[in-house]
Amino acid sequence: MENKHLFKSGHTACAGCGQAIAARLVIDAAGPNTIVANNTGCLEVFSTKYPETAWEVPWIHSLFENCAAVASGIEAALIYLGKKDQINVIAQAGDGGTADIGLQALSGMLERGHDILYVCYDNEAYMNTGIQRSGLTPFDTNTTTSPIGTQSTGNIRPKKPMPEITLAHGIPYVAVSSAGYPQDIQRKVKKAISIKGPKYIQIHVPCPLGWRHEPNQMLEVAKAAVETGLYPLIEYENGVLISKRQITPKPVEEYLKIQGRFKHLLNNPEEIKKIQEIADNNIKKYGLKIEQVEK
C-alpha cells in the first residue's frame, strides 16, 4: 500500500529523529498546495542531498538565517501573480536558525504581516553542526559549547522565550507542539493554515543523538518534557490563550534522568531545584495543572 506522504522515505535522518517526524506531519497537514522555504540545518541536509530530495512540494533552501525573508519574497510573488489564496507558504528552521541567527528575518516577516506559517523545530541546540548551544538550549544542558566541567553544570541561561517574542509582534496565531503528540501537530498546523497572516508554531523535537537517549525513547522523552511542565503545549489566537495541554505534573527528574545531556544533574539537588522552579513557573503561568474537582 503506497503512502501519500509529501515528505518521502529515503532521507538520511538519524533513526528515531523527532524532527523528521514533525517535518512530515507539518507538510502532510499543509497539503500539496504549499511552497516551503527551509533554513540550513539537520532537516535541510538530510532531506536534500543532491541528487535526491525527499520533498514532494516546491521547496527552496537558501542560507542559514533567511527562510523568513525568502518566504516573504515568495509570498509577495504569489500575491503579484494573484495566486496567494490558493497556495500556502511555510518558512521552517531549527531553533538556532529561528532564535539566534534567524531572529531578525523572522521578526521582520512577522512585523510586515506576511501570510506565512513559520515553523521552528526545537531540538534545543545546533545539532547539525555537532550539538552546540543555542538560544533555545535549556538551563544546565550539557552541549559541546556549554560543556560540564569542574567549573560548570552546563548552559548558564534559560531558553529564549520565542513563543512570547512572536506573540509580542501581535500576530494572529502562536502555538507550541511536540513530536510526542503527532495529532496535536497536525491540528495546530491545519488551524494555522486556515488563518490569514503571520503564524508561528514551535515544535519540540527530541534528538536521540544530541540529547543522548535511545531512538525508541523519543516518545517518552517528548512526553516527559510536557508532563513535567518544562515544555508547555500552548496555543494563542489573536493574543489570547485558547488552549493548553493540562498535566498532572511530574517532578522534573522524570525528564532529566532519561537523557544523557542532563545526567550530570542527577546527584545535584541544588541544580534540579532551579530547573523545578522553571517548570513550576510554567505550570503557574499557564495554569497547566489539572485541578481535582471536589464532588
Residues in 42-61 at the binding interface with other proteins, rule: CB under 8 A:
44-45, 48-61
Site for other proteins in 80-139 (CB under 8 A): 80-81, 87, 104-105, 107-108, 111-112
Nearest distance, CB of residue 79 and other proteins, angstroms: 6
The residue (of 55 and 200) whose beta carbon lies closer to other proteins is 55
DSSP state of 216: G
Nearest distance, CB of residue 294 and other proteins, angstroms: 31
**How far from 142 is each of 137, 214, 237, 258, CA to CA, in Å?**
9, 17, 35, 14
What residues form DSSP beta bridges with 92? 38, 119
Nearest distance, CB of residue 169 and other proteins, angstroms: 12
Q: How far apart are CA 17 and CA 43, in angstroms?
A: 10
Nearest distance, CB of residue 150 and other proteins, angstroms: 36
Site for other proteins in 147-186 (CB under 8 A): 182-183, 186
C-beta of residue 149 within 8 angstroms of C-beta of residue 50: no
C-beta of residue 47 within 8 angstroms of C-beta of residue 11: yes
What SS3 state is found at 295? coil
Residue 73 touches other proteins, criterion: CB under 8 A: yes
Nearest distance, CB of residue 215 and other proteins, angstroms: 4
What SS3 state is found at 152? strand
Q: How far apart are CA 71 and CA 55, in angstroms?
A: 17
Site for other proteins in 179-198 (CB under 8 A): 182-183, 186
The residue (of 107 and 289) whose beta carbon lies closer to other proteins is 107
The residue (of 41 and 154) whose beta carbon lies closer to other proteins is 41
The window from 78-86, 145-153, 161-169, 195-203 that contacts other proteins (CB under 8 A) reads 78-86
Nearest distance, CB of residue 132 and other proteins, angstroms: 20
Nearest distance, CB of residue 105 and other proteins, angstroms: 5
The residue (of 60 and 195) whose beta carbon lies closer to other proteins is 60
Which residue of 26, 34, 203, 259 would you call a contact of other proteins, by CB under 8 A? 34
Helix or strand holding residue 269 (H, E): helix 269-286
C-beta of residue 91 within 8 angstroms of C-beta of residue 118: yes
The residue (of 52 and 277) whose beta carbon lies closer to other proteins is 52
Q: Examine residue 251 and say whether the peptide bond preceding it is cis (omega within 30 degrees of 0).
A: no
Helix or strand holding residue 90 (H, E): strand 88-94
